[in-house]
Structure 1
Amino acid sequence: MTTWMVALMVTSVGWAVRVDSHSWWQLPVFLAATAPVLVWRRHLASALGVMVGAMAVHVLAFGYVVRCGAGLPVAFVAAFLVGCAHDRRRGVPMLVAAGAFATLVLVRDTAAGLALLPVGLLVQAGLWAVGQVARSRSALADELRARTRELQALRDERTALEVADDRARVSLELEALLDERLARLELAASSQDAGVAVFTGLEEDSRRTLEDMRRVVGVLRGGEVALVPAPSVAHVEGLLARRGSARLSVDGDPRTLPPSLELSAYRIVEHLLSVLDDDPDCAVALGFSDDALEIRVAGRVPRGADVRAAVSRARERARLHAGSLEAKVSRGRARVVATLPTAVATAIG
Structure 2
Amino acid sequence: MTSPVRALWDAPAAAPAPPRRVWRDGVLLGAVIVLAVVEASLRPEVPWRWVWAVVLVALAPTLLWRRQRPFTMLAIAIAVGTAVGLVTDGDPQLITTAYFLILLYALFRWGSGRAMVVGGALVVAGTLLTVLTSAPGPADVVGGIAVAVATSTLGLAIRWRRGARARELEQVRVLEREQLARDLHDTVAHHVSAIAIQAQAGSAVAATNPRATAEVLEAIEAEASRTLREMRAMVGVLRGPDAALAPTPGLADIRSLEATDAASPRVFVRLDGDPGSASAPVAAAAFRIAQEAVTNARRHARGASRIDVTVQVDPAEVRLEVHDDGEATAPAPAGYGLTGMRERAAMLGGACTAGPDARGGWTVTATLPRQGGAA
| TM-score, length basis structure 1 | 0.46
Computing the radius of gyration over CA atoms, which structure comes out larger, 1 or 2? 1
| TM-score, length basis structure 2 | 0.43
